[in-house]
Amino acid sequence: MNTDKQKYKLLELAAHLRSYIKGQEHVIGRVVSVLQRGELGLAHHDRPKGSFLFVGPTGTGKTEITNAFTAFLFNGAKPLRFDMSEYQNQSSVEKLIGEKVGDIGLLGRALEKSNGGTLLFDEIEKAHPLVLDLFLQILDDASITLASGERKNLSGFYIVCTSNIGAAEAMRMQSTPFASIERTVLARVGQSLRPELVGRMTEKVVFARLPYTVQREICESMIAGELARLRKLGHSLEVSPDDVEAMLRAGFHKTLGARPMRSAVERFLQDQLAGKLLNAGGTAE
């Protein structure tokens, strides 16, 4: 990466992620550092561009930040996502990389469509141990050998693994300093995942639970985003402070974080617009 335009884009990365991810300032700097090194070509060429283990309570932004940086760096692309709860059996290895000669598995088929981007493995702790063995090869030399015998080069990818390990402890430690929560969660990670796997991750990042004030900020951001989307469709809506409070009450959840918020916002605004369109008998102005 040499052009001034590309360098400027990397300098804008942190601000871009902050517009999407709230309440995780400690995460953004560490993620941006890995991404900037990867995009500048400073990472080892026989390893992935960078790798992350994102842990913490559900609905705190682990997948959202992955989606955000992938779209920003790879022209709107989405991560190639694998739900590891679907790979809990010994046969899951065959499902992922193929069963016999000529079969390349789900991972192989996904990689046929791209030679760079982000590979996202959700709930990594649920994968069968034989599946986890594959990650040692992926993280060590940025490659995976498929059942067909074909060897895929993954040096153009970022690897993201997410996990809810330690989330229950984190939620119970609401009045505890975050540094203590982080140590507790990472200790649980060390007990639950193989040390050689955890040790190969470029960054191991604990996401903090989202308090009410942060969820309000997320709610307001989601409202703005949905209103902008509806405007592109030719519709406009007025949102009152009472409307904001209603959406916040509907979407706020102590344990699920911001996960229910988007549905609450979209349902409320779309219902409002639907009612306006039906009552007017035409298009909303």
Residues 217-244, mean pLDDT to the nearest whole number: 95
Mean pLDDT of 224-236: 95
Cβ count near 248 (within 10 Å): 19
The radius of gyration of the chain from alpha carbons, rounded to an integer in Å, stands at 21
Q: Does 282 have pLDDT greater than 50? A: no
- Banded pLDDT at 168 (limits 50, 70, 90): confident
The average pLDDT across 235-252 equals 95
Give the mean model confidence (pLDDT) for residues 115-137.
Answer: 94
Q: Report whether pLDDT(151) > 60.
A: yes
- pLDDT-derived band at 135 (thresholds 50, 70, 90) equals very high
Any idea of the CA torsion for 36, 42, 45, 47, to the nearest 10 degrees? Answer: -50
**Distances in whole angstroms, Cα of residue 206 to Cα of each of 42, 57, 110, 191:** 25, 9, 28, 15
245: Cβ–Cβ under 8 A, 6 or more apart, which residues? none
Task: Specify the pLDDT at position 285.
Answer: 47
Q: What is the mean pLDDT of residues 211-225?
A: 94
CATH pick for 212-280 out of 3.40.50.150, 1.25.40.10, 1.10.8.60, 3.90.1200.10: 1.10.8.60
Q: How confident is the model at residue 281 (pLDDT cuts 50, 70, 90)?
A: low
207 pLDDT band, cuts 50/70/90, is: very high
Question: Span 235-251, mean pLDDT?
Answer: 95
Average pLDDT over residues 234-240: 94
Residue 48's nearest CA partner among 57, 61, 58, 39 is 39
Contact present, 208 and 26 (Cβ < 8 Å): yes
The answer to whether residues 19 and 12 touch, using CB atoms and an 8 Å cutoff, is no
* Delimiting residues of CATH 3.40.50.300 domain(s) in the chain: 4-206
Confidence of residue 283 (pLDDT cuts 50, 70, 90): very low
End-to-end, the C-alpha distance of the chain in Å comes to 46
pLDDT in tens, 12-36: 999 999 999 999 999 999 999 999 9
Domain 4-206 belongs in CATH node 3.30.420.40: no
Q: Give the residue range(s) of CATH 1.10.8.60 domains in the chain.
A: 212-280
Please give the pLDDT value at position 101: 79
pLDDT at position 2: 55
73-106: per-residue pLDDT in tens? 999 999 999 999 999 998 999 999 998 878 899 9
Query: Can you tell me the mean pLDDT for 44-56?
Result: 94
Among the listed residues 4, 59, 53, 12, the one whose alpha carbon sits nearest the alpha carbon of residue 36: 12
Tell me the residue type at 183. Answer: R
Q: How far apart (Å, rounded) are the C-alpha atoms in residues 260 and 251?
A: 5
Confidence at 284, pLDDT banded by 50, 70, 90: very low
Mean confidence (pLDDT) of the chain: 92
**Sequential DSSP letters for the chain:** ---HHHHHHHHTHHHHHHHH--S-HHHHHHHHHHHHHHHTT-S-TTS-SEEEEEESSTTSSHHHHHHHHHHHHTTTPPPEEEEGGG--STTHHHHHH-SSTT--HHHHHHHHT-SSEEEEEESGGGS-HHHHHHHHHHHHHSEEE-TTS-EEE-TTEEEEEEE-TTHHHHHH-TTS-HHHHHHHHHHHHHHHS-HHHHTT-SEEEEPPP--HHHHHHHHHHHHHHHHHHHHHTT------HHHHHHHHHHH--TTTTTTTHHHHHHHHHHHHHHHHHHHHTS---
Whether 123 has a pLDDT exceeding 60, the answer reads: yes
Residue (of 153, 95, 167, 92) closest to 126 by Cα position: 92
